[in-house]
Amino acid sequence: MPSRCPLLCRLATLLCVWALCQAHSDTELPPGTPIIQLRLAGDKRKHYEGRVEVYYNGEWGTVCDDDFSIHAANILCRELGYVEAVSWSPSSKYGKGEGRIWLDNVHCSGQERTLAQCKSNGFGVSDCKHSEDVGVVCNQRRIPGFKFISSFTNSVESLNVQVEEVRIRAISSQRKRVPITEGYLEVKDRGKWRQICNEEWTEMNNRVICGMYGFPGEKGYNTKVYKLLAKRRKKNYWDFGVNCTGNEASLHGCKLGRKVELKGNTTCEKGMPVVVSCVPGRAFAPSHAQGFSKAYRVEQPLVRLRGGANIGDGRVEVLKNGEWGTVCDDNWNLKAASVVCRELGFGSAKEALAGGRLGQGMGPVHMNEVECSGFEKSLTECYFNRDALGCSHEEDAAVRCNVPAMGFQNKLRLSGGRNPFEGRVEVLAEKNDSLVWGTVCSDSWGTMEATVVCRQLGLGFASNAFQETWYWLGDVRADDVVMSGVRCSGTEMTLAQCLHHGKHLHCPRGGGRFAAGVSCSESAPDLVLNAQVVEHTTYLEDRPMYILQCANEEHCLSSSAATATPSSYRRLMRFSSQIHNNGQSDFRPRAAHNSWVWHDCHRHYHSMEVFTHYDLLSLNGTKVAEGHKASFCLEDTQCEEGIEKRYECANFGQQGITVSCWDTYRHDIDCQWIDVTDVVPGDFIFQVVINPNYEVAESDYTNNIMKCRCRYDGHRIWTYNCHIGGSVSSESEESSFPGLLNNQLGHR
């Protein structure tokens, strides 16, 4: 800074380049307490968590995790202006720091006002490495009245914005619009809402505000209206400006601008309060407060999200050469994650997730070591290492995006459950010109409908759908049915977007104890069939009828087998199935252990009605033969390295498929076939569907279906072009299966 004298610069650097940031207090620190500055650093984090870094003696350094405790984390978070700590993390969870390790063996009682008051080995005395750098997660609520105490006015710009809350306050003519996309920007500081002077406000600042509120971009607004309103209102300006680069996930990540001189009505004389106007994504077009009519559909051909419980969450998948693949988490950070979020019509990214946190994908890993500037229109425009190989699906990258506040959670509630994740579904509906709470008719109520309810409430995935809720005593004033005939595809953002009866309700059993209910879960399984195993193991076998009696009892043969003689033969199209659980929780049968049915012929218990269904279709989609795997043994045949098997059918054992394990049904076991005895030779489509009745809730049903091209010449059979649903582009799907225009499955 050439305009500053060198002496002042050196003094500022030696004492503290950054302003001292701490909770406001009338009492001073004891004499001799070292003056330090704290910050949270590292990638893949939110603004209220990160690696602990300390500025002391003119140098930034880290803190070792030895003897660190929640007491120390609480002191640290309060010193940064947060109400308390949530947790702390050892072993450089937020990456290794650089420079000195300033503090080691930190002991805090919890009463200290600064980390510098806690006992330790002394500043700079440590035997740790940066692999032991400690991190903390603070409660994101800020201390009311928290403010900056700055020793150097020229150093304020280095600080991140630290305010209690941020909001866009719409003017009266726009307050009924949902979502709110335009209005005055206000920050809550020291318990009061304050405006920001727009004299030095930039487009990059607008971009950050819109992103944190779930909008991909910003636009202009009618300045005359806001100037006129500003003149009429008493203004209460914040003490500082704001300086954002445009890549921050929220205002808290931006630096403070210059300190504003507060001069009553003449403050910000050449400007007015900041106004922000944002452009919502296509799925969130503003509507009136009464409702939201359009279903959620991301129309984006190159990038998509899969496996997330909530809108804007999911594993990142990219389309390349007609095939969908995942992104490796090497170098994955908030900049790249925000590019994905904005590309899909959301705001900036709240989190950049690594390590397959939202489930593992199948197929290729298309991108590795992704580096984005943050301003690309698509993730496909970012640099990535085309030569880097060796990433497994355990390293699949994912995102959680900021989405607009649509008020969905206010239109629905769960009542009577033992915890917030379960209960009778109650809907806020209009009745006799007033809004009343009522129940949902349980006729045809199933997993898909429960999935939409859990998503709308932000409670994750559906784990169960209930058609009777007599054991949950809800509000008796809400017993009346206000919604019936509900049918959901599973992609809707709200229950109101699903098909349902209009004003003329029809519910024979009524509400009350027969009302619809759900239980939700933060995680869910995800079954995926290995298409290559099917393709490589398909063959024909002619098998005599007299050794197919057990299979015939389970209806695994075509209808003509009913009149077949014991000495006749059935022609079977056999294949192996390898079914992986790529989700975040184990796949378990819905039926309780005591309700499983013993099948004496095959000598095992049936735990599901139909687990897989097999169809042979003509090229125009007409069914020519079918088969199914009835309720049969579910167990861990094999698991990835380091994962233990948990389920085994022997001795009436527990059934299921553990996360990162798979259940293999070999080609040589009963019912692992389609009876093609009556099929005329030709070209066909072979289709396998797992969990076809959605009996067990999963995080993704699109990959439960597998299709192959199939040729049968009367003597041999071939399968080729096998792939799971959603693994290729729609164009590739149509060219391979011209008679099947979609992947949709009828259910129930």
Question: Residue 507 has what pLDDT?
Answer: 92
Joined together, the tokens standing for residue 680 give 């005329």
pLDDT at 18: 35
Residue 464 has pLDDT above 60, yes or no: yes
pLDDT band at 263 (very low <50, low <70, confident <90, very high): confident
Give the 3-state secondary structure of residue 411: helix
Alpha-carbon span 296 to 659, nearest angstrom: 29
Strands 398-401 and 313-320: antiparallel
Helix/strand/coil (H/E/C) assignment for every residue in 251-281: HHHCEEEEECCCCHHHCCCCCCECEEEEECC
pLDDT digits (tens, 9 = 90+) for 352-404: 998 888 988 888 999 999 999 999 999 999 999 887 777 888 899 999 999 99
**pLDDT score at 133:** 93
The pLDDT of residue 118 is above 60: yes
Distance CA 525, CA 587 (A): 5
Q: Is the pLDDT of residue 744 over 60?
A: no
The domain segmentation of the chain, as residue ranges, is 37-138, 165-280, 303-402, 412-519, 527-736
Give mean pLDDT, residues 161-170.
85
What is the mean predicted confidence (pLDDT) over 54-71? 89
CA 42 to chain centroid, in Å, comes to 21
Instruction: Give the pLDDT band (50/70/90) at residue 19.
Output: very low
Cis peptide before 286 (omega within 30 of 0): no
**What CATH class has 165-280?**
alpha beta
Note the pLDDT tens digit of each residue in 271-299: 889 999 999 998 888 764 444 444 444 44
Return the higher-pLDDT residue of 143 and 405: 405
Q: Among candidates 529, 509, 212, 157, which has minimal Cα distance to 341? A: 212
DSSP secondary structure, 452-517, as one string: HHHHHTT--EEEEEES--TTS---GGG-SEEE-S-B--S--SSGGGSB---SS---TT-SGGGB-E
Q: Residue 321 above 80 pLDDT?
A: yes
pLDDT at 314 over 80: yes
Task: Give the pairing of strands 365-367 and 323-327.
Answer: parallel
pTM greater than 0.85 (yes/no):
no
**Mean of all residue pLDDT scores within the chain:** 84
Position 158 scores a pLDDT of 63
| pLDDT tens digits, 504-555 | 899 988 888 899 999 999 899 999 999 999 999 999 999 999 888 888 877 8
Q: For the residues 425-445, what does the mean pLDDT come to?
A: 89
Q: Name the pairing type of β-strands 177-178 and 135-138.
A: unpaired
The predicted model gives 246-259 an average pLDDT of: 86
Collapse the DSSP code of 381 into the 3-class scheme (helix H, G, I; strand E, B; otherwise coil) and give the result.
helix
% of the chain exceeding 90 in pLDDT: 42
CATH homologous superfamily of 37-138: SRCR-like domain (3.10.250.10)
- Judge if 165-280 and 412-519 fold alike in CATH terms: yes
- 495 Cβ neighbours under 8 A, 6+ residues apart: 412, 425, 427, 440, 449, 452, 453, 456, 483, 486, 488
- What pLDDT is stored for residue 146 in this prediction? 72
Asked if residue 83 has pLDDT above 80, the reply is: yes
- Span 459-481, average pLDDT: 88
Q: What is the pLDDT of residues 219-245, one digit of tens each?
A: 988 888 888 888 877 788 888 889 999
Architecture of domain 412-519: Roll (3.10)
What is residue 148's predicted lDDT score, i.e. its pLDDT? 60
Would you identify the CATH topology of the domain 303-402? Mac-2 Binding Protein (3.10.250)
Among the ranges given (172-181, 310-319, 703-712), the one the predictor scored with the smallest mean pLDDT: 172-181
What pLDDT does residue 15 have? 32
In the predicted structure, residue 1 carries a pLDDT above the cut 80: no
pLDDT at res. 379? 95
